[in-house]
Amino acid sequence: MCCLSVSTECLAGRTVTTMRAPHTTVAGIPIPDSLIAREATEFVRDVSTPLLFGHSRRVFLWGSLHGEQLALDYDPELFYIAAMFHDMGLVEGHRSEHERFEIDGANAARHFLERHGLPEEHVTTVWDAIALHTTPEIPRYKRPEVRLVNWGVEYDIPGRHFDELTAEQREAVVPRIRGPRFKEGIIEALAGGLRAKPETAYATWQTDILDATMPGYARPNFCDVVRRSRFAT
């Protein structure tokens, strides 16, 4: 039997009383269940794909486990929302014509948080976490939430830092929310977001995806860009 609890929350000047079940916990990590966290969960689940939704939840779980290892002082709610929205720029209806998908996702999160009346400091933290989630090195010099989104993404997709979490922790997460064809599925999801605007592919891994999935794609070469500069020498 599930016992519901009564909760009163204040959001954007509104006092909201809700009935809800206790926290869902995965691998010892509570999934945030504040009003705004639940609305973020519902929003992403409704507009995204099951593959991207599951990936986003795992980014939060992997990052939270790593944050506990390092005893980082981070805001689980802000981190959760950033993790859930980090790939929103790959989703039809939430990607622009010319911006990088990371920026599209960051802007989608900004609009969501501003509608809920969060202060600019919190909005900026989430925006940075999403916009920088594919950028190496820089996130670890930013706020912990930014660092953890990047770490969780690196853990879940290319499997970096694999042995920094235990087999028991992986076993508590993977069977529940990682499908059997995630590797090929995430490549196609990324390709779908990049093929429509290949000029936004800035990183080697992104051009790798286009090279493998877009016939006739020609990799940009930075040396060519420099040589075409309008300076004489």
DSSP 63-116: HHHHHHHHT----HHHHHHHHHHTTGGGSTTS--SSS-HHHHHHHHHHHHHHHT
What DSSP element (H or E) covers 4?
Answer: none
- Asked if 151 contacts 62 with a C-beta cutoff of 8 angstroms, the reply is yes
- pLDDT above 90 covers what percent of the chain? 69
**Alpha-carbon distance 81 to 195, whole Å?**
26
Confidence of residue 17 (pLDDT cuts 50, 70, 90): very low
Q: DSSP letters along 21-35, please?
A: PPPPEETTEEPP-SH
Helices (H) and strands (E) in the chain, counts: 10, 4
How many Cβ atoms from other residues are within 10 Å of residue 109's Cβ?
A: 25
Q: Closest Cα to residue 118, out of 33, 13, 18?
A: 13
User: Does the pLDDT of residue 62 top 50, yes or no?
Assistant: yes
Q: Please tell me the predicted confidence (pLDDT) of residue 177.
A: 65
CB-hemisphere CA count at 13 Å for 205?
9
User: 190 versus 12: which is more confidently predicted?
Assistant: 190
Q: Which of 48, 63, 205, 229 is nearest to 146 (CA)?
A: 63
Comparing 81 with 223, the larger pLDDT belongs to: 81
pLDDT > 70 fraction of the chain, expressed in percent and rounded: 87
Mean confidence (pLDDT) of the chain:
88
The pLDDT score that the predictor gives to residue 176 is 65
Average pLDDT over residues 26-30: 94
Domains of the chain plus CATH, in order, are: 26-196 (1.10.3210)
What mean pLDDT comes out for the span 37-47?
Answer: 97
Decide if 83 contacts 57 (C-beta within 8 A).
yes
Of 152-161, 197-206, 214-223, the range with the highest mean pLDDT is 152-161
Residue 112 has pLDDT above 50, yes or no: yes
The Cα 51–Cα 178 span in angstroms is 8
Question: What average pLDDT does this structure show over 148-169?
Answer: 94
Task: Tell whether the model's pLDDT for residue 163 goes beyond 90.
Answer: yes
pLDDT at 156: 92
- Each residue's pLDDT tens digit, 166-181: 999 999 998 766 767 8
Q: If you compute the radius of gyration of the chain from its CA atoms, what whole number of angstroms results? A: 19
Query: Rounded CA gap, 79 and 22, in Å?
Result: 20
